[in-house]
Structure 1
Amino acid sequence: MIRRFLLERISWILLIAGLQLLALFMAFVDQAVPLTSVLYYTFLSSILVILFLFIRYRKETPFYVALEERDNDLDLTTFPEADSPFEAVIERNVCEQMEQLKQEASRNQILLEQEKDELLSWIHEVKTPLTAMQLIIDRLNDYKLKSQLTFEWMRIHFLLDQQLHQKRIPFIENDLYIEEVNLEPLVFNEIKSLKSWCMQKGIGFDIDLQAEKVLSDAKWLSFILRQLLTNAIKYSGPSEITLASVEQDGRIHLTIQDEGRGIDPRDLPRIFEKGFTSTADHQDKAATGMGLYLTDRIRQALKITFNVDSRLGEGTTFTLVFPKENEFTKLRSM
């Protein structure tokens, strides 16, 4: 700060130094002016200038130091008080702009909340006719038509469900209920919802849940399983998808393995990025690039670790490593 203070006033310092050099030059060329007296004057005035700069430094810099160290937020209570006319100009202009930004941010937040509430309301309203459509589809006798309609109905249902969870994710910490979750009913319920799609593609399941209970939130864990199973089915031909759970080192490992097309090695580091779709099949317009992104956001909140192993043409394996109980205890105590 001292260096910047001196640089800010370098023109004044050079002016004073120039005037003192001018006085010395006049004493040198004019014999009528005593050189000793001018040197004495120059020495005293230099001391006064240094003392003056020191006093001004102590008086002027606290405002700018406080301004530099304050948090980058819109809290006006942390803004330093002005102690000079120029500081008052800075304080007034900055505070007025911050107040305008606060009002604009508040308006935008209200609009976003209204938009989110309207969208969530719309999603819940759309689910009513979807339920009616499912009942109508169930009464159809034409198996082929019934299978096709069920598949399209399921796609709409999952897209709405994805959108619903996407809007809730920013507030997921307020919605978590961590408990012991039984994996078997959770897994079978998700497989049941995908039954018609699996039958259409000739996909079966091999399930071996040696470790049946995990510490998690049932609702959000269901969403993770749904996304991973949906991806496994989507990119697989007639084959089997394996689900297995074991306990290793005090943690539950849940593995979902398919025999699909796999993931390109160059894509692996990016599969959880928002909006990213596979470069191997980039013409797939149905892919939104949101499923794994949302899954990754949720698994972070649930303290679940993802391990992904994939080879092109050989399939993909997702391993979910669940946390120990004490990790959630530490999280609550923070």
Structure 2
Amino acid sequence: MIKNYLIERRSWILLILVLEALVLFVSFLDAAVPFASLLYIVFLSLLIFAVFFIIRYQKETKFYKSMVEWENNYDLSGLAEAETPFEKIIADSVSGQTERLRLEASQNLLTLEQEKDELLAWIHEVKTPLTAMSLMIDRLNDEKAKASLTYEWLRVHHLLDQQLHQRRIPFMENDLYIEKTNLKPLIFKEIKTLQSWCMQKGIGFEVDLEVTQVLTDAKWLGFIIRQLMTNAVKYSHEADINIKSYLKEEQAILEIQDFGRGISPQDLPRIFDKGFTSTTVHQESAATGMGLFLAKKAAQPLLINIEVQSKLGEGTTFTLTFPRRNDFLHITLSSSSA
């Protein structure tokens, strides 16, 4: 401490010494000035300066010593073991607030899980009357009424399907089953579901599958194809939808091409965003902005890359690029460990 104190005040100490030396030097040069008297005065002044220096050192370093001791004894990790009442109050407050936040987070997570389970149970319950309603619609003789009711039934069916898969997507990695999946029955099943809607709009399908099998999860791939095909039918009218698969650089490619209204260039970067519908037809209330978002989310754990090319007024092409066989190694390992 004394060393640091001297270093900090070395300029003042040097100034005093230089002044005293200057007085003695002047007395030595000037014979008229008594040297002995000045030497005595210099001695007294240096003695007074030394006493003053010691007193100031004691006063000025007392506070800093207490600061050093406080820093050495202060331990943040030992806050819970604080000795002073003030430190105990802080420790109890922090500990209590942390515990309260932990309990609230745990309770909120439990509530969300319960709400998810209740919603999933409700969706499954609603599917039963929907199935009965579909059978009733099939028995109708009025084709015009039958087509209208089928369209509305299909909308409700797809909205429920989106809700069901939206709740499952955060946990879909626990539900994956990677296997060789036949594309033809999967695609034709979705076409059959959309058949009445397509007939109403005068839409047909051209299917050309060079690659008939892909390694993926059949259930989730069906959901992705369902969203893309529903989107294609929704925005097309009296035109064919082309579906083809082929091999490119050892990767299976599936394309779904429609000749509908297309997507404007300003909307293309945002079509996979949650809740985004359109900037060109913003007043359209039928769109939810969830179909493509959910398709993209479901494709990520499957390592399926979805790309889109579109021209406004000419149509849209969605391209699904499936991963190579070796890319599924870590998915299989993670699924088995889970």
Letter in 2 for 1:136: M
The residue number in structure 1 matching 2:17 is none
- Give the deviation of 1:327 after TM superposition: 2.0
- Give the deviation of 1:110 after TM superposition: 2.2
SS in 1 for 2:253: strand
Contiguous gaps of at least 5 residues in structure 2 = 1-7, 13-44
> In structure 2, do the counterparts of structure 1 residues 149 and 97 end up closer, same or farther at CA, with 3 Å as the change threshold?
same
Contiguous gaps of at least 5 residues in structure 1 = 1-16, 22-30, 67-78
- Give the deviation of 1:127 after TM superposition: 1.0
> In structure 2, do the counterparts of structure 1 residues 47 and 331 end up closer, same or farther at CA, with 3 Å as the change threshold?
farther
- Give the deviation of 1:148 after TM superposition: 1.6
Is contact 2:79–2:87 with CA below 8 Å preserved after alignment?
A: no
- Calculate the TM-score normalised by the size of structure 1: 0.80
> In structure 2, do the counterparts of structure 1 residues 283 and 54 end up closer, same or farther at CA, with 3 Å as the change threshold?
same
Deviates most, 79-88 or 165-174:
79-88
> In structure 2, do the counterparts of structure 1 residues 324 and 148 end up closer, same or farther at CA, with 3 Å as the change threshold?
same
Letter in 2 for 1:270: R
Structure 2 distance, partners of 1:124, 1:109, is 23
SS in 2 for 1:227: helix
The residue number in structure 1 matching 2:48 is 34
Q: Which has the larger radius of gyration?
A: 2
Q: Cα deviations across residues 305-328 of structure 1 (Å, max 9, x unaligned)?
A: 111111110111111111122222
The residue number in structure 2 matching 1:11 is none
- Give the deviation of 1:43 after TM superposition: 5.0
The residue number in structure 2 matching 1:142 is 142
SS in 2 for 1:246: strand
Alignment of 1:73-92 (within 5 A): 81-83=80-82, 85=84, 86-92=86-92
> In structure 2, do the counterparts of structure 1 residues 43 and 106 end up closer, same or farther at CA, with 3 Å as the change threshold?
same
- Give the deviation of 1:150 after TM superposition: 1.3
SS in 2 for 1:140: coil
Alignment of 1:253-272 (within 5 A): 253-272=253-272
The residue number in structure 1 matching 2:293 is 293
C-alpha RMSD of the superposition: 2.6
- Give the deviation of 1:240 after TM superposition: 0.9
- Give the deviation of 1:32 after TM superposition: 12
- Give the deviation of 1:105 after TM superposition: 2.1
Structure 1 distance, partners of 2:79, 2:241, is 63
Structure 2 distance, partners of 1:313, 1:319, is 19
Deviates most, 179-188 or 107-116:
107-116
Q: Cα deviations across residues 171-206 of structure 1 (Å, max 9, x unaligned)?
A: 111111112211111111111111111111111111
Deviates most, 323-332 or 170-179:
323-332
The residue number in structure 2 matching 1:191 is 191
- Calculate the TM-score normalised by the size of structure 2: 0.79
> In structure 2, do the counterparts of structure 1 residues 214 and 44 end up closer, same or farther at CA, with 3 Å as the change threshold?
farther
Structure 2 distance, partners of 1:332, 1:132, is 39
Alignment of 1:57 with 2:71, yes or no, is: yes
The residue number in structure 1 matching 2:15 is none
> In structure 2, do the counterparts of structure 1 residues 242 and 111 end up closer, same or farther at CA, with 3 Å as the change threshold?
same
Letter in 2 for 1:130: L
- Give the deviation of 1:109 after TM superposition: 2.1
The alignment covers a number of residue pairs equal to: 292
> In structure 2, do the counterparts of structure 1 residues 172 and 136 end up closer, same or farther at CA, with 3 Å as the change threshold?
same
